[in-house]
Amino acid sequence: MKVLTAYITKDVLKGSLIAMLVLLTLFNLFTLSDELDDIGKGDYGLTEVFYFLALTSPTVFYELMPASALLGSLFTLGAMGNHHELIAMRAAGLSIFGIIKAVMMAGVILATMAVLVGEFIAPLTEAKAQLIRATAQHKPVVMRTKYGLWLREGKQFINVRQMEDNGNLANISIYEIDKHDDDDQQHLQHSLHADQAIFLGNQQWRLQNIQRSIISTEQVQANTATEQIWNSSIAPDLLKIVVVIPDNLSLYDLAIYINFLKENHQKSHLFEVAFWGRIVNPLVIFVMLLVSAPFVVGIKRGVSAGARVLIGVVIGMGFNVIDITTGHIGLIYGLSPPLMAFIPSVTVSIIALFALKKLQ
């Protein structure tokens, strides 16, 4: 039985990696087509486009792993069914759940690869890719909105319009209120604008070319200064986190930013959804492998490869739609992020297990 288990595991793993190669190539071709339209903007040329594709590939690899596992298992198990190998294995004493166990062993390897790439490689290369493109096109690395990034730290509201390559900030405004959240009224007490902020380490920044206003009920006092030290727990690494889409961040980065938002009494629901989505994503690989089994065992032999691709695409797209819809419902109604992240996978897993049970 160990020989049969190893044989199935090896073939499913090989089929999934081939499917990954095909899907990754297709996605990169589509991305290449989009990026070619931007060639000529600043110094953005063909070399930068290929750098961009190479650096965004780990993120695409991570996102495509569940779909690759589904297609790879459908092809592999389907081919075994068409060549009567599954019948021979079952005649030799290997049960349906023995086949599933072998497929899941391949899932362990695929999930491990996905976690390693998604947590330690993709976040770094994705941020680097976005920076290369923005720098080559002579665009500033602008934050979340057209008005830059807004952060809150205690009584201070910070607006950063631009982040430079070396981690320094440009065009930064700091507004300070005189009351805390639990007070009924809040008044603007100080406002400050600096052309540049240079990180010195140890939670310190040096602000340069400063325009400062002190606001009271009687008057507004304005003055300027060449430079000033600003103490803040906000560091360049924290700012780089929010430049990238939450779904492309590592669990560690998301945890840091969620903690920062909560400490400053800000909404963190969007990032919590992304955090739990990252936890669930490797588990989706096992769900897709589990789903493929009933379709292979239950479908009669002789089904073409094209039909199996169609089945895989329908299942994958259907699950993706349900997953995204569930996530948006959770955001709209403020439902528990862990619950909304696990509902689609658990539901599909139960359906797949029920289908497998009926096949016995």
pLDDT in tens, 284-318: 999 998 888 776 665 555 566 567 667 777 887 78
Does residue 202 belong to any structural domain of this protein?
Answer: yes
Residue 213 shares a structural domain with residue 283: no
> CB–CB of 162/190 below 8 Å?
no
Report the number of distinct structural domains present in the chain.
Answer: 2
Contacts of 45 (CB under 8 A, 6+ apart): 39, 136
pLDDT of 348 over the 50 cut: yes
Range of the domain at 178: 155-232
Does residue 95 belong to any structural domain of this protein?
Answer: yes
Element (DSSP H or E) covering residue 188: strand 188-201
Residue 133 shares a structural domain with residue 161: no
The token pair at 79 is: 């081919």
Residue 192 shares a structural domain with residue 218: yes
What confidence score (pLDDT) does residue 142 get?
46
- DSSP helix/strand/coil, 329: helix
* Backbone phi, psi, residue 154, to 5°: 60, -120
Does residue 76 belong to any structural domain of this protein?
Answer: yes
> CB–CB of 141/45 below 8 Å?
no
**CA angle 294–72–60, rounded 5-degree value:** 125
Does residue 329 belong to any structural domain of this protein?
Answer: yes
Distance CA 223, CA 210 (A): 8
Distance CA 46, CA 76 (A): 38
pLDDT tens-digit readout, 64-101:
999 999 888 888 888 887 787 877 888 888 887 888 88
The stretch 184-205 carries a mean pLDDT of 87
What confidence score (pLDDT) does residue 316 get?
77
Residue 117 shares a structural domain with residue 200: no
Q: Which of 182, 203, 232 is the last residue of a domain?
A: 232
pLDDT of 203 over the 50 cut: yes
Q: Which of 186, 210, 232 is the last residue of a domain?
A: 232
- DSSP helix/strand/coil, 353: helix
What confidence score (pLDDT) does residue 133 get?
83
Residue 132 shares a structural domain with residue 168: no
What confidence score (pLDDT) does residue 285 get?
93
Residue 76 shares a structural domain with residue 176: no
What confidence score (pLDDT) does residue 334 get?
84
Taking CA atoms, 130 is separated from 106, 138, 245, in Å, by 33, 12, 11
The stretch 228-255 carries a mean pLDDT of 78
Write the DSSP assignment of 119-183 as a string of letters.
IIIHHHHHHHHHHHHHHHTT--B--SBTTBEEEEETTEEEEEEEE-TTS-EEEEEEEEESS-TTS
> CB–CB of 129/198 below 8 Å?
no
Region of 214 on the Ramachandran plot (φ > 0 left; ψ -120 to 50 alpha; else beta): beta
Residue 87 shares a structural domain with residue 192: no
Does residue 56 belong to any structural domain of this protein?
Answer: yes
The stretch 37-56 carries a mean pLDDT of 91
Residue 129 shares a structural domain with residue 214: no
